[in-house]
Amino acid sequence: MSTTTELDQLHELIGGLRRCVSSLASRYGDSTAMRRIVNDAERIQNDIDRLDIDAEELNLARGVSHHHHNVEKIGIPDTQYASDFWQDVDDDGPMSPSPFD
């Protein structure tokens, strides 16, 4: 989404859809067809809510960031850890290959 306005429009549209679905459900009662339509409207609402959550990630993927955080960078030394650093850690063995490779 390129602007918040588009997300606002989606919220308005799903609000209208849900009102129409509620009206139809009150008219036609609890039938298989109406349950399917109600479920579809709820799924779309959930998808739009998820899109709200993912909007910043989508903007970051496009190289756009609306939030400029002043963050202090922390340097990580390139030196070896002390040998006792891993003392109480269990070895799980070699990692299995990724299913995505």
Task: Kindly report the pTM of this predicted structure.
Answer: 0.50
How far is residue 50 from each of residues 4, 9, 30, 81, measured CA to CA in Å? 14, 15, 28, 41
What amino acid occupies position 82? A
94 by Cβ neighbours in 10 Å (0-12 / 13-18 / 19+) ranks as exposed
At 41, the pLDDT band (50, 70, 90 cuts) reads very high
* pLDDT tens digits, one per residue of 61-97: 555 545 545 667 777 778 877 777 777 777 666 666 6
- State the CB neighbour count (10 A cutoff) for residue 73: 5
